Amino acid sequence: MYKVVTKRFLNDAKTICLFEIEAPFIARHARAGQFVIFRLDEQGERVPVSVAGYDRQKGTVTVMVQAAGRTTRMLHTVEQGDYISDIAGPLGKATEMEGLKKVCVVGGGVGCAIAYPIAKEMHERGIEVTFIAGFRSADIVILKDELKEVSDKLIMCTDDGSYGRKGFTTLFLKQEIEANIDWKRPQFDRVIAIGPDIMMKFLADVTRPYGISTIISLDPIMVDGTGMCGCCRVIVGGETKFACVDGPDFDAHQVDFDSLIKRAAFYKEEQDEAAKHICRMTGGKRNG
């Protein structure tokens, strides 16, 4: 059993919640870019979530979870001091940072929670970080102060203009690239993008003409987290890869986004139906 030592919502809409969980082994070994898999109880499903932070001295790991499906909605009902059944990790490969001097990190929605620890570690290594954080509207904006602390330049934007600049992350990435463009040397050593699949697809289209290395973090359907089930397979460079062991980071210019997006929607009807179940933890219906 793993104790929840801290719980707090990160935005006004209360759609994303931070949990700090006692997990000493994971805290000792976790690195930015990796993930864990949790179960609420012995009958619960296995849900992968990215490591958003860790404290090696306290022995805790932090995750930031959006209430999207049945289990993540149930997790939001867990309170500080409660316990969850399992948390396994760290899993996946850490984000590679060696040799980088100037990067642009792009986060879309809850993707900012995944991108934050990556930007933080890069900033601590002395890498110059431009962070572009995009959200639909002001009520779901998260980590404003935290992102400012780890960025040499921070651009906050919303689709409707209710917070920060109005527009999509693709627009501001293109502007940043072209602001000081030098065809002999790209504006950034690397772009790291984390967010909805469609956002990452269009960001890859932005960087491709400039030859800028672009890395994305993928979270396809996943079960065991060891590569045995095959559920998290993605096509990269024409070859089948498994996000849980080969990733979650991949070269965006090599990812087959069409198949990725199609597979992500495969169980949408079942997920929507599952969200209407009667919660065994609270006895209430979880409709959102």
Query: Tens of pLDDT along 210-240?
Result: 999 999 999 887 887 777 888 888 999 999 9
The CATH code of the domain that includes 192 is 3.40.50.80
Q: Both 120 and 81 in a single domain?
A: no
pTM flag (> 0.75): yes
Quote the number of domains for the chain. Answer: 2
pLDDT value at position 15? Answer: 87
Report yes or no on 128 lying in a domain: yes
The residue among 17, 30, 8 whose CA lies nearest residue 87 is 30
* Contact predicate 90/46, CB 8 Å: no
Q: Both 70 and 151 in a single domain?
A: no
**Percent of the chain beyond pLDDT 70?**
89
Q: Alpha-carbon distance 225 to 222, whole Å?
A: 6
> What pairs with residue 191 in β-bridges?
104, 214
Give 115's pLDDT tier (boundaries 50, 70, 90).
Answer: very high
Using DSSP's 3-state secondary structure scheme, residue 7 falls into strand
- Phi and psi at 284, nearest 5°, equal -105, 165
Q: Is the pLDDT of residue 284 over 80?
A: no
pLDDT value at position 270? Answer: 56
Domain range holding 33?
Answer: 2-92
pLDDT value at position 35? Answer: 93
Give 20's pLDDT tier (boundaries 50, 70, 90).
Answer: very high
